[in-house]
Amino acid sequence: MCKPILIAIGGNSLIRAGQSGSVKEQIENADTTCRHLAKLVEQGHKIVITHGNGPQVGAQLIRSEMAAQQVYQLPLDSCDASTQGELGYVLQNAMRTALHELGMNIPVITILTQVVVDELDSAFSNPSKPVGPFYSKDVAEKKKNELGWQVIEDAARGYRRIVPSPEPLEIIELDAIRCCLSQGFVVIAAGGGGIPVVEKGGAYCGVEAVVDKDKTSALLASKLGLETFITSTDTDKVYLNFKKPNQCALEEISLAQARQYLDENHFLSGSMGPKIEAAIDFLSHGGKEVIITRPELIGEALKGRAGTRIFSDKKEPSHEA
């Protein structure tokens, strides 16, 4: 039996570039992604799956705001919860089907996950997390003026709404996740980075924010004592000088190099930056390796044939960075 791994799939795994994001499209994309993940289970891996929810939670907020005159509005933490359940349902069914196609009768479970944050976190006064669809500059400015949104240009692809993104501190359902994993379940958890809550008088209260999916995933992988953390994206590898004439693919780098490249601003905050930060967090707390690649390349990446691998040791990379 292979060692357990955590796989964080990005929003691109459910809504691809150029798609409208319809439920039909998301189900089809989930089916494709889960066929790749099911092969890992067939190889003997126990897996925990986390996922993003940026486009979906943004859409949920728009629905809530547009219907405010007819039904009650949803705070952002409730939108986090509802999209976590919605996407868990899609992924759970897709994963179960993919396993069945491989002749495996393995239970799949979605665990609605809450994440403790600090109510004094500076993120609440400095929103930074993009949610929802991309807009042109004119449309973004209109929404900013009419709805009071804060917006930012995101990775040269347009403009998006930004909301607070505090640091995850604890995962409330950790024991339940650990128990299901130990029993051989495929576990879907911490969707969208989890539902952000703060502790008050022994109770947990939701707060309006979106926790970064990769940072929560790194925290969960660390708390579970896993050695390998995989985060998927829409590129085959991590690149220096991304989309520039001198871009350079990174195949294997050390933790120290990851820190160096992050400090040198090679990775944008709305794109690869949070993934590298999450990798650094995981490796700094006992993890052995992080793999970053496309969902369809994860199997090859685990064999060292694809993706970018970041190691906790002093191993020298096999490329010229």
Known catalytic residues are 11-12, 129, 213, 275
Instruction: Please enumerate in sequence order all residues whose Cβ is within 8 A of that of 199, keeping only pairs 6 or more positions apart, or say none.
Output: 116, 205
Contact 31, 94 (CB under 8 A): yes
Contact 236, 251 (CB under 8 A): no
Residue written as token pair 């009071």? 148
Q: Which residues pair with 153 in a beta bridge?
A: 159
Residue written as token pair 């490329």? 319
Q: Name the DSSP letter for residue 96.
A: H
Which CA distances in Å does 250 have to 234, 292, 307, 313?
15, 10, 8, 16
Angle formed by the axes of helices 255-263 and 273-284, nearest 10°: 140
Residues in the chain: 321
Alpha-carbon distance 25 to 92, whole Å?
A: 16
Residue written as token pair 């790749």? 36
Alpha-carbon distance 242 to 267, whole Å?
A: 8
Angle subtended at Cα 180 by Cα 203 and Cα 274, rounded to the nearest 5 degrees: 70
